[in-house]
Amino acid sequence: MNESTEECSPFKDRKKKNHMSLNDKKRLAREKAEQYNSNGRPIRQYHMLTAEEVKQGKETHWEELEIIGSIKNISPDLWKLTYLTGLYLNDNQLTRIPPDISLLVNLQSLDLSGNKLRSLPAELGELVYLKELLLGYNMLRSLPHELGRLFQLQVLGLAGNPLCQEIMKLYSEPNGTHRLLMYLLDSLQVRVPVPPGRPWIPLSRPNKNIPSCPVTVMCYNVLCEKYATTQMYGYCPSWALSWEYRKKVILGEIRHYTADIITLQEVETDQFYNFFLPELKKDGYDGVFSPKSRAKTMSENDRKRVDGCAIFFRAIKFTLIKEHLIEFNQLAMANSSGSDDMLNRVMPRDNIGLAALLKTNETAWENSLPSEVQQPILVCTAHIHWDPEFCDVKLIQIMMLSNELNTILEEANRTYRNVNHHQPPIQLLLCGDFNSLPDSGVIEFLSAGKVSSDHQDFKDLQYKTLLQKISSCERPNEFAHSFKLSSAYENIMPFTNYTFNFKGIIDYIFYTRQTMTPLGLLGPLAPEWFKDNKVLGCPHPHIPSDHFPLLVEFELSPNAHQSNSNGLIGRR
Three-point CA angle 89, 94, 96, nearest 5°? 110
Alpha-carbon distance of 398 to 353, in angstroms, equals 9
Alpha-carbon distance of 10 to 270, in angstroms, equals 76
- Do the bridges between strand 213-221 and strand 261-268 make them parallel or antiparallel, or are there none, so unpaired? parallel
Cβ neighbors of 325 (< 8 A, separation 6 or more) are 290, 352, 353, 354, 355
Pick from 264, 273, 271: nearest CA to 352? 264
The total of other beta-carbon atoms located within 10 Å of residue 204's CB is 10
Is 433 a known active-site residue? yes
Give me the amino acid identity at 113.
S
Backbone angles phi, psi at 567, to 5 degrees: 75, 10
Element spanning 395, H or E? helix 391-419
End-to-end CA distance of the chain: 102
Alpha-carbon distance of 468 to 404, in angstroms, equals 14
Alpha-carbon distance of 97 to 89, in angstroms, equals 10
Three-class SS of residue 112? coil
Alpha-carbon distance of 329 to 474, in angstroms, equals 26
The total of other beta-carbon atoms located within 10 Å of residue 303's CB is 15
Asked whether the CA dihedral 500, 218, 519, 437 is positive or negative, the reply is positive
CB 407 within 8 A of CB 475: no
Task: Using only the alpha carbons of the chain, give its radius of gyration.
Answer: 32
Cβ neighbors of 494 (< 8 A, separation 6 or more) are 503, 505, 524, 527
The one catalytic residue among 91, 111, 307, 433:
433
Alpha-carbon distance of 488 to 510, in angstroms, equals 6
DSSP annotation of 506: -
Alpha-carbon distance of 427 to 514, in angstroms, equals 9
Alpha-carbon distance of 471 to 400, in angstroms, equals 9
Asked whether the CA dihedral 519, 524, 525, 528 is positive or negative, the reply is negative
Alpha-carbon distance of 39 to 29, in angstroms, equals 16
Label residue 257 exposed, middle or buried (CB < 10 Å: 0-12, 13-18, 19+): middle
Pick from 357, 358, 351: nearest CA to 394? 351
Give me the amino acid identity at 348.
P
Active site residues: 433
